[in-house]
Amino acid sequence: MTDGFAMRFSEANTGAFSNTVLSLSALERHDAQPFVVAIVRPSRVDFMLANATFLKKISHSSQGLRVDNVTGSFNGSDILAEHEGIPNTPENFAVLFARHESFTWEENLERLVAATDDVVPRNARFRPTGAEIGAILAAPARFAVAMNSIEYAEAAHDLSARMEDAKPGILAAVQIDNVNIRGNAIERLITGEGNTHELGDEVRSLGDGELAIDIKTKLLDRTSAPKASNVDKVLRLLAKPESVLAFFIVGVDAKRGRVFGRLLTFLDDALIESVRVQEHWAGRDSRGVTQLSGRSWHRVFAETFEPSISEDAARRFLQDLIER
């Protein structure tokens, strides 16, 4: 994880843990490092991560909670016992905190406001029409064509060249602890632009449509789970009949001073195998967000790797996203 952590002790005399733990404003000051709650019971002490990513809502004195008014406190019952199938226990803290690092405080705050006060988020759920669903489900075929296009090859070559030129800066940037600041710095080194928080750090012409490219960073010598994308934003983009979404993944081996780059479509087999939807981000007004987890997708940096799209599997994947 990181070099430091914060800890809060709380007592629980019964099996349930419903005590008020901490104010949300106090958590904000510690959310960039692991925040551990020690639950002192009569016969044992339990430990849970309680960073903002692992909170379901704000239960105590939350009236008036807004993204511009951080108020209220969370109870023990608001802390997730597991996150996407991974128990919130000490042996999993490194993996869990790596997932937490992919989200900004502002992103988690907006989710907590919506979960607490039933406020409609800024990015409302995308409700595609029949024609738009058809365009989304036709994406695997057009992505497969795009992979073999001259424009796609030029984009891959150009981004790889810019990455190589920026290599000294990238190796310096990986020393930044904050994952979002680090990712934004590397993105800026490659694109020359700041983070727009929109889907597509770079948008290029592709035939009669567009190729939207998001830049993702993976530190190969650390546990991490880069955030992939907001599901509703992806579906909104793919509903455009000529649109293609790709990730330029920057793999950094800081110990060996090596940097790798690979342009992959969003529907590449290697990415689909690794994408996990953050279920507790989904709800009435959001399908949630995705993360790249596991180690199987590391193979994309091998010289022998060949990008591929299994169109039937990709359509099933997209249908699942639509139905969430």
Asked whether residue 221 falls in the same domain as residue 171, the answer is: yes
Question: Is this prediction's pTM over 0.75?
Answer: no
Q: 110-130: string of b/e by CB count within 10 Å (b at 16+)?
A: bbbbbbbbeeebeeebbebee
In the prediction, which pLDDT does 119 show?
45
Domain final residue pick, 117, 142, 168 = 117
Nearest of 100, 314, 98 to residue 223 by alpha carbon: 98
DSSP letters, 12-62, are -SSS---SEEEEHHHHHHHTTS-EEEEEE-SS-EEEEE-SGGGB----BS-
**pLDDT, average across residues 120-140:** 86
In the prediction, which pLDDT does 81 show?
94
In the prediction, which pLDDT does 258 show?
93
C-alpha dihedral sign at 293, 324, 267, 226:
negative
For the chain, give the percent of residues with pLDDT over 70.
Answer: 91
* C-alpha distances out from residue 250 to 26, 139, 145, 237, 258, Å: 34, 24, 24, 23, 10
CA within 13 Å, CB half, 251: 16
Asked whether residue 160 falls in the same domain as residue 284, the answer is: yes
Per-residue pLDDT reduced to its tens digit, 254-313: 889 999 999 999 999 999 988 888 766 555 577 888 888 766 667 889 889 999 999 999
Lookup result for tokens 């024609």? 131
Cα 75 from chain centroid (whole Å): 25
Asked whether residue 26 falls in the same domain as residue 139, the answer is: no
In the prediction, which pLDDT does 214 show?
92
SS3 (DSSP) at 189:
helix
Lookup result for tokens 């992959």? 264
Asked whether residue 315 falls in the same domain as residue 211, the answer is: yes
Nearest 5°: CA angle at 259, between 234 and 292? 30
SS3 (DSSP) at 219:
strand
CA within 13 Å, CB half, 136: 24
Asked whether residue 113 falls in the same domain as residue 137, the answer is: no
Asked whether residue 63 falls in the same domain as residue 86, the answer is: yes
How far apart are alpha carbons 224 and 113 in whole angstroms? 26
In the prediction, which pLDDT does 320 show?
95
In this structure, is residue 124 part of a structural domain?
no
**pLDDT, average across residues 68-89:** 92
Asked whether residue 88 falls in the same domain as residue 224, the answer is: no
Contact 128, 235 (CB under 8 A): yes
How far apart are alpha carbons 322 and 112 in whole angstroms? 23
Asked whether residue 180 falls in the same domain as residue 246, the answer is: yes
Domain count, the chain: 2
- pLDDT of 136 > 60? The answer is yes
In the prediction, which pLDDT does 292 show?
82
Asked whether residue 243 falls in the same domain as residue 189, the answer is: yes
- pLDDT of 25 > 90? The answer is yes
124: left (phi over 0), alpha (psi -120 to 50) or beta: beta
Six token digits for residue 73: 């406190």
**Residue 153: count of CB within 10 angstroms of its CB:** 12
Lookup result for tokens 């919506």? 114
Residues of the domain holding 99: 6-117
In this structure, is residue 113 part of a structural domain?
yes
Asked whether residue 309 falls in the same domain as residue 200, the answer is: yes
Asked whether residue 164 falls in the same domain as residue 312, the answer is: yes
In this structure, is residue 123 part of a structural domain?
no
Phi, psi of 12 (to 5 degrees): -140, 115
